[in-house]
């Protein structure tokens, strides 16, 4: 069967994205800076396109995990401040310095690399010192922070712009551990201040902490999940109304009319009970459909939910079945999901044909980077990835 052109894409609703941005801003004091986190391709929304939208609406500081993510933003024309969270090797640091990025120092090695590269290039580099207060990933201990801060502060090539930590369980039922992390950060700030060192940006709040602990907002907050229209997991207050800017869409590739008793998919895991119409949709495991990002359950209740979901899926119970949306209604995916296709069961008289648009529940963080993102504003296409006109191009109506 022949695939239709532009058979899969992701729509990003600019109006929803801007709504979320303003909702987050409503939580912040006037002197608290918003650092928009665009890691993992802006949580699936497309880093460059999302950054362009946010920059147009006043966001002047971004953050990513890896240097190559920041390089992509620079190549996309993003000239604002960009903080890189992860430690950079010497080659990456050199390119980062050339592109005016802000680097994290989370060890003495990171400091030596940043100082060496900056000196060689004769460039001043802004640094954020990372303190590990309990996450166990990157960062120096509170005891090491003062000595390293002094080295950075008195290095002629480095500017200690920021100091930060990352909370391990801001959404946990008990706030005690988060409060202890915050206290460690505050003690570190006091120690630095007592030695004449006070970075301009002290920050610790991610999306969950920003909602739950307004007293911890400090000089800046790092927001990613909320901008994408999702509340972070855990016990966090729903202080603001969010809108979903993400839609994964595809066009039906083929339509089959199947009699009752027909098997669908590998290993014949599903058999039609009545005469049905089967829509073949070009989205599968390779696109993230049906995949889950699983980790160790956080509690017995979490474990129970995982087991219940697996059992429900095995029994083909409707509640646990993956469903696509056609128009305003949802219809089930039946049989095993293929690598690049899935099968959707529809009533025999349902008006579907090749080219019909289907919304598919692919989790945004699992969506492949090579799926084209289309940015929609007021129902019109204003930018598509690969479109050199960018957000200033002529608006076009969305045609499905």
Residues with a known catalytic role: 39, 266
Produce one character per residue of 132-142: b if its CB has 16 or more CB atoms within 10 Å, e if not.
bbbeeebbbeb
Inter-residue contact 11 to 244 (CB < 8 Å):
no
Question: What does the block give as tokens for 31?
Answer: 């002197």
Inter-residue contact 282 to 272 (CB < 8 Å):
no
Measured CA to CA in angstroms, residue 306 lies from 109, 157, 295, 316 at distances of 41, 51, 11, 15
Inter-residue contact 26 to 240 (CB < 8 Å):
yes
Q: What's the farthest any 2 CA atoms get from each other in the chain? A: 80
Dihedral sign computed on CA atoms, order 361, 363, 315, 333: positive
- Enclosing H/E stretch for 24: helix 14-25
Produce one character per residue of 72-107: b if its CB has 16 or more CB atoms within 10 Å, e if not.
bbbeeebeebbbbbbbbeeebbbbbbeebbbbbbbb
Do β-strands 254-258 and 33-37 pair in parallel, antiparallel, or remain unpaired?
unpaired
Inter-residue contact 256 to 280 (CB < 8 Å):
yes
* Interaxial angle between packed helices 108-121 and 142-153, expressed in degrees from 0 to 180 and rounded to the nearest 10: 10
SS (H, E, C) 184-203: HHHHHHHHHHHCCCCCCEEE
Question: What does the block give as tokens for 50?
Answer: 């999302």
């Amino acid at each position: 069967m022949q695939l239709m052109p532009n058979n899969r894409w992701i729509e990003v609703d600019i109006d929803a994205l801007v709504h979320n941005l303003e909702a987050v801003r409503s939580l912040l004091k006037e002197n608290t800076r918003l650092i928009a986190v665009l890691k993992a391709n802006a949580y699936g929304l497309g880093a460059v396109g999302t950054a362009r939208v946010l920059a147009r609406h006043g966001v002047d500081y971004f953050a990513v995990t890896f240097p190559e993510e920041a390089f992509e933003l620079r190549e996309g024309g993003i000239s604002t401040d960009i903080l890189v969270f992860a430690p950079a090797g010497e080659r990456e640091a050199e390119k980062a310095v050339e592109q005016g990025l802000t680097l994290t120092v989370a060890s003495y090695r990171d400091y030596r690399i940043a100082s060496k590269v900056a000196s060689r290039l004769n460039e001043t580099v802004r640094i954020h010192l990372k303190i590990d207060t309990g996450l166990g990933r990157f960062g120096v201990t509170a005891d090491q922070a003062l000595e390293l801060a002094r080295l950075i502060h008195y290095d002629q090539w480095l500017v200690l712009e920021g100091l930060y930590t990352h909370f391990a369980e801001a959404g946990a039922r008990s706030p005690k551990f988060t409060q202890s992390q915050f206290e460690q950060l505050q003690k570190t700030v006091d120690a630095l201040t007592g030695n004449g060192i006070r970075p301009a940006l002290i920050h610790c709040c991610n999306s969950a902490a920003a909602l739950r602990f307004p007293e911890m907002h400090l000089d800046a907050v790092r927001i990613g999940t909320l901008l994408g229209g999702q509340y972070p997991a855990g016990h966090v207050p729903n202080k603001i109304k969010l809108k979903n800017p993400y839609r994964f869409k595809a066009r039906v590739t083929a339509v089959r009319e199947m009699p009752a008793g027909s098997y669908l998919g590998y290993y014949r895991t599903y058999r039609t009970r009545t005469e049905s119409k089967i829509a073949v949709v070009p989205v599968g495991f390779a696109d993230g459909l049906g995949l889950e990002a699983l980790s160790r359950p956080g509690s017995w209740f979490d474990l129970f939910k995982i087991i219940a979901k697996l059992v429900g899926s095995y029994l083909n119970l409707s509640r646990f079945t993956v469903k696509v949306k056609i128009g305003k209604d949802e219809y089930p995916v039946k049989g095993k999901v293929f690598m690049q296709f899935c099968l959707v069961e529809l009533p025999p008289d349902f008006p579907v044909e090749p080219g019909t648009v289907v919304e598919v529940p692919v989790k945004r963080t699992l969506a492949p980077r090579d799926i084209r993102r289309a940015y929609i504003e007021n129902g019109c296409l204003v930018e598509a990835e690969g479109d050199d006109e960018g957000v200033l191009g002529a608006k076009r109506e969305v045609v499905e």
